[in-house]
Amino acid sequence: MDNRRCVVVGAAKIARYPAVRKYLKKGDFFIYCDAGLSHEEKLGHRADMIVGDFDSSTNPMRPTETIVLPHIKDETDTLFAVREAMRRGFRDFLLVGVIGGRLDHTLGNISVLNMLASEGCTALAVDDYSEVSVVTDKAEVSCDFPYFSLLNVTGVCRGVSIKDALYPLDSAELTTEFPLGISNEPLPGKTAQIFVGEGRALLIKVRRN
Q: CATH number of the domain that 187 lies in?
A: 2.60.120.320
Residue 144 and residue 41 in one domain = no
Q: Are residues 159 and 106 in the same domain?
A: no
| Residue pLDDT, tens place only, 41-82 | 999 999 999 998 887 777 778 899 988 888 888 889 999 999
Do residue 108 and residue 168 come from a single domain? Answer: no
Mean pLDDT of the chain: 93
- The pLDDT tens digits for 20-45 are 999 999 999 999 998 899 999 999 99
- Let me know whether 98 and 172 are in one domain: no
For residue 1, pLDDT beyond 80: no
Tell which of 128, 153, 177 closes a domain.
Answer: 128
**Residues 92 and 160 occupy one common structural domain:** no
One domain for residues 13 and 103: yes
Q: Mean pLDDT throughout 94-104? A: 94
Who's near 94: CB < 8 A, 6+ residues apart? 5, 6, 7, 8, 23, 24, 28, 123, 124, 125, 126
- For residue 59, the model assigns a pLDDT of 76
| Secondary-structure percent of the chain, ordered helix, strand, coil, rounded to 5 | 20, 40, 40
Q: Among the three residues 98, 128, 158, which one is the final residue of a domain in this structure? A: 128
User: Which of 101, 128, 155 is the last residue in one of the domains?
Assistant: 128
Lowest pLDDT segment from 63-77, 85-99, 140-154 = 63-77
Q: What confidence score (pLDDT) does residue 192 get?
A: 97
| Cross-strand partners of 193 | 140, 163
**In a shared domain, residues 8 and 82:** yes
Residue 4 has pLDDT above 80, yes or no: yes
Q: Can you give the pLDDT at residue 209? A: 60
Residues 169 and 116 occupy one common structural domain = no
- Asked whether residue 6 falls in the same domain as residue 99, the answer is yes
Compute the average pLDDT of residues 94-121.
94
Look up the CATH number of the domain holding residue 92: 3.40.50.10240
Same domain, 113 and 139: no
What percentage of the chain carries pLDDT values higher than 70?
Answer: 100
Residue 201 pairs in a beta bridge with 135, 152
Measured CA to CA, the distance from residue 66 to residue 1 in angstroms comes to 22
| H or E segment and range at residue 43 | helix 40-43
Same domain, 17 and 118: yes
Neighbours of 13 (CB within 10 A): 12
Cβ contact 160:201 at 8 Å: yes
Question: Which structural domain range is residue 185 located in?
Answer: 134-206
Residue 10 has pLDDT above 80, yes or no: yes
Under the banding of pLDDT at 50, 70 and 90, the label for residue 3 is confident
User: Are 11 and 82 in a shared domain?
Assistant: yes
Q: Name the domain count of the chain.
A: 2
164-201 confidence digits (pLDDT tens) = 999 999 999 999 999 999 999 999 999 999 999 999 99
